[in-house]
Amino acid sequence: MVPRFLVFDLFHTLVDGADAERDRVVGEMAVMIGVDPSALRRAYRDTWDERLTRWSVEETIRILAGRLGADPAEEAVARAAVHRRALARRVLEAVHPATLDALDGLRAAGARLALVSNATSEAAEAWPACALASRFDVAVFSSVLGVGKPDPRIYLAAADALGAAPTDCVYVGDGADGELAGAAAVGMRVVRTVEHKDTDPTWPGPVISALRDLTDRPV
């Protein structure tokens, strides 16, 4: 039987995380703002928590450029921000049709769907226009809420918006950022997906290889 309430991760769960493309784009942004590409890539990785919950695209560019000894003109910051936002749109638009079909099937079976994503502001901005958005009743982004997984508040916000108790929800994710343990800690049942990336292979719970498996087996 399909669960009544399903809560999904986004990157490496519904879409590929596009890690290599992200690194390439950050390197191109570095050229635009006059800093070393390798240094900016390191700075992006080292400030994940801040970018996840606090900084806009432009703030990220200005802050990291400053830390690397540069003071780019506003025109350069704007160009780099446009480049970063275009990446967010491409990543979300790359969702596989089979994923959309699986979500449509879950909704047709009566499920209500929520998204809980550790995502920077450009992903949250791009979300409403992507094909995934219309399949979800609720979307909670760390960059909007101000906290990320595995903080209990982000899971509870999604459950509350669904009108569900956490114990009535099934959480589906690849396991990045300790998300599976975080979901279990608030009482959600957990299903790990390895469709895009086998992120948390030691997790001792149910595993699916594709979202369509959610309709083919009890969870």
Q: Tell me whether strands 189-193 and 138-141 are parallel, antiparallel or unpaired.
A: unpaired
Q: For residues 206 and 216, give the distance between their C-alpha atoms in angstroms, rounded to a whole number.
A: 13
Tokens read off for 7: 């809560």
97: three-class secondary structure by DSSP: helix
Q: What are the pLDDT tens digits along the chain (219 aa)?
A: 788 999 999 999 999 999 999 999 999 999 999 999 999 999 999 999 999 999 999 999 999 999 999 999 999 999 999 999 999 999 999 999 999 999 999 999 999 999 999 999 999 999 999 999 999 999 999 999 999 999 999 999 999 999 999 999 999 999 999 999 999 999 999 999 999 999 999 999 999 999 999 976 556
Q: CA 117, 112, 2 angle in degrees (round to 5)? A: 110
For residue 205, count other CB atoms closer than 10 A to its CB.
12
Q: Is the pTM of this model over 0.75?
A: yes
Q: For residues 39 and 57, give the distance between their C-alpha atoms in angstroms, rounded to a whole number.
A: 18
CA neighbor of 102 nearest in space, from 2, 213, 217? 213
